[in-house]
A and B are shown apart, each in its own frame.
Chain A
Amino acid sequence: MSYHNPYTPPRKSATFDDYTLAEIRRAAATGIYDIRGAGTKRKVPHFDDLLFLGASISRYPLEGYREKCDTSVVLGARHAKKPIVLKTPITIAGMSFGALSGNAKEALGRGATIAGTSTTTGDGGMTDEERGHSQTLVYQYLPSRYGMNPKDLRRADAIEIVVGQGAKPGGGGMLLGQKISDRVANMRNLPKGIDQRSACRHPDWTGPDDLEIKILELREITDWEKPIYVKVGGARPYYDTALAVKAGADVVVLDGMQGGTAATQDVFIENVGMPTLACIRPAVQALQDLGMHRKVQLIISGGIRSGADVAKALALGADAVAIGTAALVAIGDNDPHWEEEYQKLGTTAGAYDDWHEGKDPAGITTQDPELAKRLDPVAAGRRLANYLKVMTLEAQTIARACGKNHLHNLEPEDLVALTIEASAMAQVPLAGTSWIPGKGGF
């Protein structure tokens, strides 16, 4: 009897999977790393790995449509004469005019204003349209200082000193030449069409002691009116939060690695920084250790998509959240409506991330006037407002089910984790146990 090997299907390497192989070939063909927008695409422990317990015999819920569940938040009352008061704790993260079209910035301002929240400028400065359409506008103070001037500092409602962002803690930015229109070039004091590097650290301060002096300067220039936020990427959240508080920040903005960027190296996005979930508890612990929890507000960003995510971030101790990628999707980014054009660009709706190339079919991450015209800022603003309202309602629904009459009354005790990783990061028990890795229990 002859022996035949039974058929075994071809086996691909888990280490050298199709994407990895394609990336090696791409690097070999082009000689340059991949640059793209958005945040990490790898799967990391996230809010999906947490569940709320809801009410039970030991605690009673609130009636969904009858009993009040407050969503308001005050930001910056520590030192500022004019703190920010928002109707919802969901804010719009910093995104630049330059990275985004003027219409997209206007839409973000309109949507945020209708929903009673704030929006934020980005690298490149403040435009009149953005100021005009945003009731509450946070002005980013960035290492590049593109477009920075004291008049805009004074007409902002708050100032956000950007130390880093979750997509690239320790990295600067790059706006490639194809997006540098006359107006963008003029706002940034640079020739048209050249690549504009945004510095990775501030030109006139280094370290927490300098930061304290820088914050004093900004307060003196703006007569102590404006709340001063300090934004950091998710790297060393305990120490970064503590140092920001020590330096005098009113608000700490903490951005995990799911937070988006307009453009940076894929290797940076995927390999530097920590998941949002891993950042929150250390930051809250720092605030608690300093006796500053709820006195210095904590805004969490990076992968917030729904009211459940909002509620989970707040239950872990945040005061508010910020959304960037989700806001862009709400106004029309990656919409299947443009699928044919995404295909022409070699991608598909939902995967388009070449935001730096300025060819966005949805007219959002572009400076091409014809593409930008595709986005109606009024209708897009309305979509964003709707989305913000839905998220707020969702968060309220969960909070009421947990018996909370303010979103800020949500607490870690309301949560359990589905995975050991999420349990360790969020420091809430693995579902069905009282075990938190590293914290004892069983």
Chain B
Amino acid sequence: MSGYNKIINQSGTGAEKKTKGHWWMTVAPLYGFTILFVALPILYLIILSFLTRAQTWGVVNQFTLENYARIVKPVYLNTFKESFQLAILTTITTLLVGYPFGYFMARLPRKQKSFMMLLVVIPFWTSALMRMYGWIIIFRSNGILDKILMGLKITEKPLKLLYSYPAVLVGMIYSLLPFMILSVYSSTDKMDWSLVEAARDLGATRLKAFLTVTVKMTLPGILSGIVLVFIPSMGLFFIADILGGGKVMLVGNLIQNQLQSGRDWPFAAALSVVLMIFTSIMIWLYRKLSGVKDLEGLL
């Protein structure tokens, strides 16, 4: 806490305090909450990852590096690799599908924008589990889709569409699409369209104007969308369990298994720390690419 005060004092006596004033008050809640309810619990998580599992139940306070050593076993590295592949695939597809949607949404007449925003989010207010069961009823063998296709004589035998890697991918995309749509939308919405027009006036083709001006200006939205899609797709275990028929093992599933049937909390913690470091690299790239330096002087 004293460090925190020191920081405030420093900023108060800093050289360029022209625009500072009382700005510390706006970040104080974030600082306080983050330090108390995020940093401290995560510190505990890191400590836990160096402890030893008890023989039957619980944790023994005995330092070990064994948990991290176990992660490099091929079987667990493979799980990380597969999760990463799926997350990348999910992110790219979500971007390709979601960007146009968010972009078109921002070009809607004003009155329809907020309505559209709600239309996009409302499906996600119903339980994800129920939505997954909805998909299963449609796509399973002899399900609604099969009956339609076989009724139209397009297929003869029931398809086996579910419980596979592609089914998990589609489920991921479906579940994470709104993050991309809304990210793209919120950065496209306040875009200065006159710049696109200027580029067009200067002779740029529509495509070129889009690539050079629009994409560049919506880059922060694209990046936050990528982060918001990529990160959860590493850990969404229930989609793998339900649409993947329990056959796809992602890092999220692995951690869940270690915590439940494995009863190995320290190993689960170590897996989480590694996952955290891994996704942090993504966040770092995001921060690198979408710096907020040029915001000074807005107010």
A associates with B: no
Question: Which residues does B use to contact A, with CB under 8 Å?
Answer: none
